Amino acid sequence: MAKTQNKPPYSIFAEFYDQIAGPMRGPMERAREEILGPIIQGLRERREREGARQARGGIEVHARGAGEIHGRDHKQSHGRDARATSRRDTRTPSTQHLAPSPHSRITTCDLCCGTGTTAIQLARRGMRVYAVDASRDMLRVARAKLARAGLASQSIRAIQADMRTFRLPEPVDAITCETDAINHLARKRDLESVARAVARALRPGGWFFFDANTPRAFKELWIMNWIQEGQGFFMTARGGYDARRDRGWTVFDWFVPAGALRRLRSAGLQPGNLNWVERTDKLQRRGGGLQPATLRPSVGTSWRRFTERYEQVAWTKGEIRGALGAAGLTVIGAWDLVRFARGEAWARSGCHFFWLAQKKRD
């Protein structure tokens, strides 16, 4: 019988996050490319032109706010896009950026960076990135991934800080906060604190891209049981919606072969194959039924059981707009996840949205 240990949130989850979050990465990256990608590209090209003029004529170029790229036309076009989520296709635009120069380098912050996947992607596109997370365990995994990726410290700096109170060494052009991290706040009113911290960290005209679950997601998707097997673990999860407290909750039970965590950490975690997922509330088996386990008896003869509990809060669109607006952030648009999920069975309309907001200029 496996001995159970209750663990602080994100401690065991951090070890296997890249496998658990795998299904969400595709829609997340497509949304970021389509919504934020053209903004970053436009800002870089604008700074390239300014740098070229400076080099030719020795003209002093003052730092410009990140919002001077698209202005009102960009806001209007994104607003139309957000209202047409069911009518347009989900083709990702070409955003293969130009090689950065000192004049064009973009500064970004990946807030609640988790294991650093997004931060690495941004840095590989020539951006200077601050990777911020409150979880020591998440940052430990992220730092190991950064080292394996060979990214210099001047490209990415990892910072342990709470999303409600974080501060950066310099203002940034854009902040991302992905994979519903913003829902993991303790109280609904904490969204106002996050919005103020984000506005403080952005340059005038800077951009805030994030995604969030809706109250509908808690009522329709959280009331479930599911199991998942991956490289180095077996996991069961059960969730529900606490109507009195207006919270979604999930309890994860992790079963890990003795010694596996130590070996995974020393070898370096890599996303593994998700062999099977079974939604036991509907008794549906996907992908041709149960597949052979990735774990083999040689990994360990005994198992350890760890339990973690997570709670989330959610807001209506009006509440999000209000919190952002009070901090000086103007909502540009909101896009339903189904637009980017490409028919995935787990994606339901109205349950998860991507948001883009812009800080007001001075």
Task: Render pLDDT for 129-159 as a digit per residue (tens, 0 to 9).
Answer: 999 999 999 999 999 999 988 887 779 999 9
CA atoms of 27 and 29, how far apart (whole Å): 6
108 strand-pairing partners: 129, 174
Q: Region 298-327: what's the mean pLDDT?
A: 88
- For the segment 83-88, the average pLDDT, to the nearest whole number, is 41
pLDDT at 73 (0 to 100): 47
pLDDT at position 232, please?
83
- Tell me, what DSSP letter sits at residue 238? E
State the pLDDT confidence band at 4, using cuts at 50, 70 and 90.
low
pLDDT given at position 58:
57
Does pLDDT of 88 surpass 50? no
Q: Nearest Cα to 124, choosing from 152, 159, 93, 94?
A: 152
Stretch 307-316: mean pLDDT? 95
CA atoms of 127 and 132, how far apart (whole Å): 15
Tell me how far apart the alpha carbons of residues 148 and 27 are, in angstroms, rounded to a whole number.
25
pLDDT value for 205: 97
Confidence of residue 299 (pLDDT cuts 50, 70, 90): very low
58 DSSP 8-state letter: -
Residue 204 has pLDDT above 70, yes or no: yes
pLDDT tens-digit map of 207-246: 999 999 999 999 999 988 889 988 888 999 999 999 999 9
Nearest one of 273, 191, 199, 197 to 233, comparing CA atoms: 273
Helix or strand (DSSP H, E) at 19: helix 11-20
Out of 23-37, 50-64, 88-102, 310-324, least confident range: 88-102
Which secondary structure element, helix H or strand E, spans residue 70, and what is its range? none
Mean pLDDT of the chain: 80
pLDDT exceeding 90 applies to what percent of the chain?
57
Instruction: Give the domain ranges of the chain.
Output: 3-19+218-312, 21-90+104-213+315-359
Contact 99, 125 (CB under 8 A): no
Query: Based on the number of CB atoms within 10 Å of its own CB, is 89 exposed (0-12), middle (13-18) or buried (19 or more)?
Result: exposed
- pLDDT interval class at 325 (50, 70, 90): very high
What superfamily would CATH give domain 21-90+104-213+315-359? Vaccinia Virus protein VP39 (3.40.50.150)
pLDDT at position 253 is: 94
Q: The dihedral of CA 211, 144, 3, 257: what is its sign?
A: positive
